Amino acid sequence: MLIPHRDDVELTSPLQLPQLPNEAWNGSIAYLDRDGVIIAGSENYVNTVDEVVLLPDSAKSVGDLRRAGYRICVVTNQSPINRGLWSSSNLSMIHDRMGQLLLQNDGDAHLDLILHSPYAPWEGAWARKPFPGMLEAGRQLIDVASSDPSMRELDLKFGDDWTDRPDESASVMVGDRGVDMSAATRFGVVGILCDSDTGISGVIDSILGGSH
């Protein structure tokens, strides 16, 4: 099983979730693709920290989601790693920069968890969208971390091995491509397709019902 990765640490390493601004967590997660949702994408990949550009109002949208009680789980395909174009440490720096920019623009715009798939398309990884491995891991990691940041009680399961799944009806998956929607369908969460030029800010009202 080719499983998802976290930046700089093992997948099952301890996870300290940032406090939500207003509400106790009700179990809802916003699973967000990265490029075309939070930051501007590129046909040639986002290769350096200098290429990290937030899409308009993406920080406020992430902040709005967390103010509404959602945890944020970024799920991003990053095949340049296994294509040999650059390293996982480079990706970590890119994600650090993205996190800094989000918080500079909205102090509530924390990312609770970032998962990436380093695998190339031909590897057939369960962790690579359109397969739902990153979403499966995200739910289990955040659920356990919410009560036990040490992650000692974590028993990660994927696919047919994971039978006792929680209800995802209060959660959403936002992406700009068909593979994101396929992953959402396979996982059992509502998929919301956004325009890659406007990203999450273009669909935030439909997620929150205009209540923010």
Residue percentage of the chain with pLDDT more than 70: 98
Q: Examine the pLDDT at 83 and tell me if it is beyond 50.
A: yes
74-88 burial, b if ≥16 CB within 10 A, otherwise e?
bbbbbbbbbeeeeeb
Q: What is the pLDDT of residues 42-67, one digit of tens each?
A: 989 999 999 999 999 999 999 999 99
Contact status, residue 16 vs residue 125, Cβ threshold 8 Å: no
The catalytic residue among 33, 64, 106, 112 is 33
Whole-number average pLDDT of the chain: 95
Q: Examine the pLDDT at 23 and tell me if it is beyond 80.
A: no
Residue written as token pair 């992430």: 62
According to the model, what pLDDT value does residue 210 have? 53
Q: What is the pLDDT of residues 115-125, one digit of tens each?
A: 999 999 999 99
> Distance between CA 137 and CA 11 in Å, rounded?
9
From the CB of residue 67, how many other CB atoms can be counted at a distance below 10 Å? 18
Q: Examine the pLDDT at 12 and tell me if it is beyond 90.
A: yes
Give φ, ψ of 66 to 5 degrees.
-70, -35
Q: What is the pLDDT of residues 128-174, one digit of tens each?
A: 999 999 999 999 999 999 999 999 989 999 999 999 999 999 999 99
Give φ, ψ of 117 to 5 degrees.
-110, 110
Per the annotation, the verdict on 35 as an active-site residue is yes
- In order of their start, the domains of the chain are 29-208 (3.40.50.1000)
According to the model, what pLDDT value does residue 24 have? 85
Residue percentage of the chain with pLDDT more than 90: 95
The catalytic residue among 35, 64, 106, 112 is 35
According to the model, what pLDDT value does residue 107 have? 97
Q: What is the mean pLDDT of residues 101-111?
A: 98
Contact status, residue 66 vs residue 109, Cβ threshold 8 Å: yes
How far out from the chain centre does Cα 29 lie? 9
Q: Examine the pLDDT at 211 and tell me if it is beyond 70.
A: no
**Model's pTM, two decimal places?**
0.97
